[in-house]
Amino acid sequence: MPSTSDAPAAFSDGWILDQRPAGNQVDPHRPYACMVEPECSVNGAIEDVATIFLTNAECPFRCLMCDLWKNTTTERVQPGMIAEQIRWALEQLPPAKHIKLYNSGNFFDPHAIPPEDYQEIAEFVSGFDTVIVESHPRMIGRRCLTFNEMLPGDLHVAMGLETVHPDVLPRLNKRMTLDDFRDAVGTLRTNRMQARAFILLRPPFLSEDEGLLWARRSIDFAFDAGVECCAVIPTRSGNGAMEVLAARGEFHPPSLESLEAVLEYGLTLGRGRVLVDLWDAERFVTDTPDATERIERLRQMNLTQSIVPPTEQRVVSDDHATRNM
């Protein structure tokens, strides 16, 4: 595995843009996806969460591993369009207790979510116990506090920590330090908001063992900083840059064994919720004969926040089956 010690500090925006394939066509009047699915809530109950994937302008932080730009617009959306997307999605979805407003970047970037839409958005989501949005840690500031004051429910902000590896984090072009992340969590907690952390399992430049080790250390750091929930994401290809790194031998997707091990580690800590992202887990395990059963075990561990022995899987009620729109 190549060393990171003599590598450049980061891949540039220009290089990352040059590797990209074409994005998807999107409609600024509609979210590009929406769904309701079960999740273990802060109180330990399995409750339905509505997720709306908003269509808006691309994030200004062009991270090396990101593919969320594929479903963004080339220009800033006009005021009123984001609120219209949310209204339309809620009309399609069944009821839920919590809602995620994910927007392929930063909710508090005014080029993505016009601040003049905040009040109408807050009114649309006022019936949910929890509103979860996503943001770069460096965009946690006045706009975040303003939106929080408009909500009757709780605001949770999910932020990409990615990795605490001292050489890999600077190379991801995230333009963030660990102090930036820690300060953002502190601001949220001081103002009675909760923080979630996105953590990468085996980002580029790490071996399988190193990827697992640094994912565990990243979970530890996140909880030490005050995060309430860690969402571990297997690092994927598909954005152009990752294919280039894979061809160089500098990136390999993580194994199912590592995904199992990192979730078991996080749950054993008992410091907060730990979830693993399973939306396309099958792509990592094409040659594993028992992959379906093992992925189902991970899904149940996500929901119950407890370790399920491989031979004694518990079945969650069909009432909480995932419903995709």
- Within a domain: residue 210? yes
Assess if residue 137 is contained within a domain. Answer: yes
Average of pLDDT values for 267-272? 98
The pLDDT score that the predictor gives to residue 41 is 96
> What tens digit of pLDDT does each residue of 93-113 get?
999 999 999 999 899 999 999
In this prediction, residue 248 carries a pLDDT of 96
In the predicted structure, residue 316 carries a pLDDT above the cut 70: no
With a CB cutoff of 8 Å and minimum separation 6, the contacts of 173 are: 10, 11, 12, 13, 16, 61, 62, 63, 64
What's the gap between Cα 187 and its chain centre? 20
Phi, psi of 278 (to 5 degrees): -115, 15
Burial class (CB in 10 A: 0-12, 13-18, 19+), 246: middle
Phi-psi region of 283 (alpha: psi -120 to 50; beta: other; left: phi over 0): alpha
Whole-number Cα distances in Å, 63 to 15, 114, 171: 11, 23, 9
Report the Cα 134 to chain-centroid distance in Å: 8
Query: Would 222 be classed as within a structural domain?
Result: yes
User: CB neighbours of 304 closer than 8 A, spacing ≥ 6?
Assistant: 40, 46, 314, 316
Domain assignment present for residue 4? The answer is no
Residue 3 lies in a domain: no
- What is the domain-level CATH number for residue 236? 3.20.20.70
If pLDDT is split at 50, 70 and 90, which confidence band does 289 have?
confident
Q: Minimal CA–CA distance to 215: which of 235, 241, 245?
A: 235
- Nearest residue to 130 (alpha-carbon basis) of 169, 165, 101, 170: 101
Least confident interval from 4-18, 49-63, 92-106 = 4-18
Of the ranges 46-60, 280-294, 302-316, the best mean pLDDT one: 46-60
Question: At residue 187, what are phi and psi to the nearest 5 degrees?
Answer: -60, -45
Q: Which residues have C-beta within 8 Å of that of residue 138, sequence separation ≥ 6?
A: 175, 176, 180, 184
Q: Is the pLDDT of residue 69 over 60?
A: yes
- pLDDT grade for 281, boundaries at 50, 70 and 90: confident
45-59, 163-177, 310-324: segment of lowest average pLDDT = 310-324
What is the SS3 assignment for 288? coil
Domain containing 49 equals 25-306+313-324
Closest CA to 275 of 231, 316, 226: 231
More confident residue, 288 or 290: 290
Strand partners, 162: 199
C-alpha 87/C-alpha 261 separation (Å) is 40
Q: How far apart are CA 109 and CA 147, in angstroms?
A: 12
Q: Is residue 36 part of a domain?
A: yes
Query: Is position 10 within any domain?
Result: no
pTM of the model: 0.91
Q: What is the DSSP letter of 65?
A: T
pLDDT in tens, 108-142: 999 999 999 999 999 999 999 999 999 999 999 99
Domains identified in the chain, total number:
1
Mean pLDDT along residues 213-237: 97
pLDDT value at residue 311: 61
Which strand (E) or helix (H) includes residue 140?
Answer: none
Query: Residue 293's CB: how many other CB atoms inside 10 A?
Result: 12
pLDDT tens per residue across span 163-200: 999 999 999 999 999 999 999 999 999 999 999 999 99
Q: For residue 122, is it within any domain?
A: yes
